[in-house]
Structure 1
């Protein structure tokens, strides 16, 4: 189970994120990026953050440490920004914290080179979870102490917003043409060979167990949190086996990024 801490001070909002996450201090003297249940995306984005973040960690990908974070809405009374006040008031109770990486830099393909193996692992993982939010427009990647770190998985597993159509949605291909790491010739097949056998029902169940019950209750079509967890496990298990066969890597969109070192001039060659 994730460690639980108590938020003691709200420091500042991070306005780059659509859900208005904030930097907060906690009673363990740590500093965290806090994601709120009262944000527009609601608790399902936090479910995705926990399940996908924990799975990434178990597969050896770098994701900041996750914690359960208790919030007393009274913290918001002294905030001058009304939007922040309302968000804190709406998010009393259990929220999600991610370890703040001081001095980290946003990923820039012109400044940081990624080898094909690591790029393949990240692209394969994003295909597995259906992550639509790691494009060159918004990489959601940080460089910290020379290493690549993955953040912001709240927009993943979009199929869980409509469970009756989840089976069909989870079976769809994954277009990686605009992925932030597409310029580096990601070796998706090698990543699948290495990682797919590790995505077992047992591993997924352990990751899903870290999602708090209160974020899974009252889910339409389910009678208990355990049933919701089982649905995540079933879909991700099925997807892990063959998703690499449905990853497409075509030309980037017309308004694509500047060419990073290693960008293949013939995109068709990169897809072979």
Structure 2
């Protein structure tokens, strides 16, 4: 119990700082001051200045929101498509429908995620919404297969046949029983997928996909300021640590929450 509580508390502690900065940072950033010399330390700037002389602390306050919101939107969009596709593929009695839904996704699954994002970005110039759609797209094949595999195991139970024999609706069987039974597995997948999505969004921004070269974005800050790493390290180290803390804290929170849910379920089963 203490280990689980400690892990959850540690996850909250780690994720609280980057999440608070991402969501509330722009409110407290204030107006931009005059630019100073590039890659300076001190001089009235808490964390020095960046590659174009802007205040690093102010860029940090503004730079988290694009990463967090884009990752959350991409994860939600991927499941918005994956859930109906995976559940339909698992529960349909028409083999051809399963093939039509899942085989095209196998083609996308064969292409590395980052390569697919770069290929699509070379065709059109995406903004923040475009990046969210691209990252969601590359997540759909794997997420749909996970949903399908989880739902197929539940759909094979006698209870599903009994519900069909009773004349229950497809909606009630699919979401009321199959979806709820596989919720814990899908929640675990969602935690891992959110972390992977944060990585993809940050990597895309690091490569300049969907953001301006001088945008206030943690990943862009790491990329654009790395040339002055040994002169002004805070412009690189601080945003990099915030990205790492965000992904690590998210994983710890999901792991602790799922472990707690699993033990609660076990206790109920033994009563």
Same topology, TM > 0.5: no
* Structure (1/2) with the larger helix percentage: 2
Q: Which has the higher contact order (CA 8 A, sep 6+)?
A: 2
* Structure (1/2) with the larger strand percentage: 1
Q: TM-score, normalised by structure 2?
A: 0.26
Give the number of the structure whose alpha-carbon radius of gyration is greater: 2
